[in-house]
Amino acid sequence: MYILPYFLEKEAKNLLKIKLSKIISNITDDFIENLFIVNPDKKYQNIMMNLEEKIKESILEILKEAIKIFDNLFLKCDARKKQFNVCNTCHRSIFTIFGLLEFDRIYYYDKFDRTKHFYFIDTLFKLPQYDRYDCLIKGISIDNAISTNQNKGAELTNNMVNSLKSTINNTRKCNISRQDIYNWISNWNLPDIEYQPIESDSDTLYIMVDEKYIHEQIKAIVVKNNEKVETKNNCNIKMDIINFLNFLNNPSQFSLLLPAPKTKTKNFIMSKAFITFTGIEQNHKRRKLLNKTTFLTTSSNPWTEFMDFICKIYDFSKYKNIKVLSDAGTWIVNGISNLKLYPENEIMHCLCEFHVKQKINRITKDKNQARLLIEYINNNNKKDFVSLIQNIMKDKDEKRKRTIEGYKNYLIRYWKAFKNMLNSKVRSSMESHISHNVAKYFSYEPKAYSKRKIQKLIKLQEYKSNGINILGLYLKSYKNNEKVTLKKEELNFDIFNSSSSNVPMLYSE
């Protein structure tokens, strides 16, 4: 690392000050000129759009001048002349948050080792190599995409980078696509976050659990001549055309025109969501979950991963009661026992009210019968509950009887769990959480995801729900060559604080 001699540093500052004064003067003159133009209907819009465009252009001009000044000063520096020679001058363009930055910079090589060569400006400004977009644009795009979707995230970032005038006139230079954001997320080694332990006076820990199915990108499995043949989902039409042409060439192969056998494929990814909290705070009509933590995964061993995650945040030895609020899915019920880490932990399963009422409404459409069934459950009258369902099943066909019998068995099996929910101070709000954290981004629109990609997207949603700044996280970790673990307290982003020092003229590493 080399420092510019004081007189060169001073020269750079003076040159930049002169250029800045000229730029500010030009902006002021343009603003005053637009202010006195007679156009009362659109004056405000024109003034604001012209001012925004001029400011962005001026910032880019400042960057160009700074690059030019520092490159020329390094060219004249004696330390450079002793070790590096000029190779040539190359043009570069890169999109910044203010627009397209285009500039020329000098390419150098080492006198004593010609294999060593570099751009001084790229080294000084830490510009990404072989990239058309800077890290700020990438981070903002990913942040927008996580809050909405990749298509909308690209649109929001394009609107921010381009000036209002170019957006309205449809002359935008920056056109980020959803595929760009997809690639940026794929190339990002997303770090694991280690959260701070949560201290609470409550003796009860609540855990809401649910799942949501997400469409999976798959290849169809076609059984032909007792052999499995993989074809892409969109190849069925092409295969029909090929079969028809083969039939015309050889009419004896009539079997080619027969419909293909039905494929049996698993085309859903089951995402699992865990919401952990210690109580509820009532604020007027709204309620807030206290000490809430979200955990999302698509793993086939969700309880193992969840326990590894959650036991570092909550001290289970301090919680006498652990209440699980769920819809009693098989994978949930089978994993509840994992929560008992200490002998003093008492595990209680609470069945969500929504699913009980859902099953009752599917048993009967008669409002009086549905009301009676709910009353029987509330009064713990299991005998009359079963008797009423038997009466409802009369005169029904066999298929309908089997369906009602299944709903009845479900309610009887989890009768105690539902009574636990009715006696609990806290009721389940898991449906809204699964909607906001998963369904809103992955299920509302007809999209499909690969198993490899969905886990990263799910984890980003988890970080967002837990209060992690996605833009700051990207800026701090996008250079990582491998996956690392970051503590949440490390994400204070002090790296972005400015500090006063000499201008470092680094030309070798």
Residue range 71-126, pLDDT digits in tens:
888 888 888 888 899 999 999 999 999 999 999 999 998 888 888 888 989 888 88
Distance CA 409, CA 266 (A): 28
Alpha helices by DSSP H, 318-381: 330-335, 353-363, 367-378
Task: Name the DSSP letter for residue 337.
Answer: G
> How does DSSP assign 7-45, residue by residue?
HHHHHHHHHHHHHHHHHHHHHHHHHHHHHTSS-TTTHHH
pLDDT score for 1: 40
The answer to which of 12-16, 63-67, 384-388 has the lowest mean pLDDT is: 12-16
The letter for the amino acid at 162 is N
Q: Under DSSP, is residue 236 helix (H, G, I), strand (E, B) or coil?
A: helix
pLDDT score for 451: 85
pLDDT score for 43: 80
Query: In the predicted model, is pLDDT for residue 154 greater than 90?
Result: yes
pLDDT score for 504: 45
Q: Pick 263 or 49 by higher pLDDT.
A: 49
pLDDT score for 248: 61
Distance CA 302, CA 235 (A): 35
Query: In the predicted model, is pLDDT for residue 505 greater than 50?
Result: no
pLDDT score for 487: 84
Per-residue pLDDT band for 506 (boundaries 50, 70, 90) equals very low
Distance CA 406, CA 365 (A): 17
pLDDT score for 244: 57
Please report, rounded to a whole number, the percentage of residues in the chain having pLDDT higher than 90: 50
pLDDT score for 448: 86
pLDDT score for 301: 93
Mean pLDDT over all residues of the chain?
Answer: 84
Per-residue pLDDT band for 255 (boundaries 50, 70, 90) equals low
Per-residue pLDDT band for 452 (boundaries 50, 70, 90) equals confident
Instruction: Extract the runs of DSSP E, i.e. beta strands, from 278-317.
Output: 279-283, 286-290, 293-297
pLDDT score for 128: 85
Distances (CA, A) of 286 to 59, 435, 464: 45, 18, 21
Per-residue pLDDT band for 493 (boundaries 50, 70, 90) equals low
Sign of CA dihedral 65, 67, 73, 76: negative
Q: Each residue of 155-212: pLDDT tens digit? A: 999 999 999 888 888 888 899 999 999 999 999 999 999 999 999 999 999 999 999 9
Per-residue pLDDT band for 153 (boundaries 50, 70, 90) equals very high
